[in-house]
């Protein structure tokens, strides 16, 4: 794997009104890796990935994606973002949803058709495209959201809790898909509060109370803290900083 930088988070803080929720966070994500953002609910994972995706702006500090300061409209076209709640049109079929978002990305005609077929195949929804989304299960909606995020072939894919509410079998299928996408050279950022998912990432950032408490590969983070599990390592780093 190359060590070229995809995302550089530099001294980033974020406040909502008087409440500071991200405190001077600095780390890098390399091109082509699956990078995890691990932390409990409310730690600040969503806030950080939204700033990476250019949906929100840092109050202090800077985020660079492919050396471009975010937010940046052109760069956002190279990013696929899957939010925590599915932003789908329930009354439309899955195919119509994909066609709608493809149009927004400027994909038309035979190119659009081909790309929709590809992403549907990738998330295993080829045979369910004609169903209205309101007839979809939660897991199918997540997979359709992933397909939407992949439509424009992004160089960077940012997924906010992609497998929440998804059963273990589907969760495994999604991870297999992510690895396939990674093999094509895409950098993937995934937020999670689940330790076994964090284990699947090449490297991860541990976030607690808006602070970066550790960053490294799951192996290194465990070794460094003489821990058997990532959970133990997380508690160690959290406690060491408290």
State the residues that interact with ligand ATP by CB under 6 A. Answer: 16, 19, 21, 39, 41-47, 84, 193
User: CB 190 → ligand ATP: shortest distance, Å?
Assistant: 12
CB 48 → ligand ATP: shortest distance, Å?
Answer: 7
Q: How far is the CB of 110 from ligand ATP (least distance, A)?
A: 39
**Residues 31, 188, 26: CA angle, nearest 5 degrees:** 65
Give helix 94-104 / helix 109-122 axis angle, nearest 10°. Answer: 130
For ligand ATP, the closer CB: 21 or 55: 21
Compare residues 3 and 19 and give the one whose CB is closer to ligand ATP. 19
Q: Please report where in the chains the tokens 């995934």 appear, as a residue.
A: 190
User: The tokens 């994500």 sit on which residue?
Assistant: 29
Does residue 146 contact residue 118 with C-beta atoms inside 8 Å? no
Q: Which lies closer to ligand ATP via its Cβ, residue 131 or residue 193?
A: 193
DSSP string, 128-179: GTTSBGGGS-HHHHHHHHHHHHHTT--SEEEEESTTTT--HHHHHHHHHHHH
31 phi/psi in degrees, rounded to 5? -65, 135
Q: How far is the CB of 61 from ligand ATP (least distance, A)?
A: 16
- Minimum Å gap between C-beta 206 and ligand ATP is 11
Which residue, 22 or 102, has its beta carbon nearer to ligand ATP?
22
Considering the complex, state which of residue 152 and residue 211 has its C-beta at the smaller distance from ligand ATP: 211
Q: Which is closer to ligand ATP, CB of 24 or CB of 96?
A: 24
At closest approach, how far in Å is the CB of 131 from ligand ATP? Answer: 29
Task: Compute the residue count for the chain.
Answer: 242
* Alpha carbon distance, N-terminus to C-terminus of the chain: 34
Q: Report how far Cα 65 is from the mean position of its chain's Cα atoms.
A: 14
């Amino acid at each position: 794997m190359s060590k070229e930088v995809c995302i550089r988070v530099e001294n980033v803080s974020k406040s909502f009104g008087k409440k500071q929720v991200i405190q001077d966070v600095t780390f890098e994500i390399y091109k082509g890796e699956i990078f995890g953002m691990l932390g409990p609910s409310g730690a600040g994972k969503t806030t950080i990935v939204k700033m990476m995706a250019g949906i929100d702006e840092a109050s202090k500090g800077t985020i660079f994606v492919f050396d471009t300061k975010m937010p940046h409209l052109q760069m956002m076209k190279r990013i696929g973002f899957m939010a925590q709640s599915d932003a789908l049109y329930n009354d439309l079929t899955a195919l119509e949803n994909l066609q709608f978002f493809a149009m927004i990305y400027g994909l038309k005609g035979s190119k659009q058709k081909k790309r929709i077929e590809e992403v549907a195949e990738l998330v295993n929804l080829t045979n369910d495209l004609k169903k209205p989304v309101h007839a979809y299960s939660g897991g199918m909606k997540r997979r359709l959201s992933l397909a939407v995020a992949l439509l424009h072939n992004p160089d960077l894919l940012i997924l906010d809790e992609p497998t929440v509410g998804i059963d273990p079998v589907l969760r495994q299928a999604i991870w297999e898909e992510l690895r396939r996408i990674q093999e094509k050279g895409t950098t993937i950022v995934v937020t999670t509060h689940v330790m076994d998912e964090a284990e699947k990432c090449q490297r991860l950032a541990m976030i607690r109370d808006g602070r970066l408490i550790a960053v490294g590969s799951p192996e290194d983070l465990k070794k460094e803290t003489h821990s058997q599990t990532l959970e133990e390592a997380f508690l160690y780093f959290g406690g060491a900083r408290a």
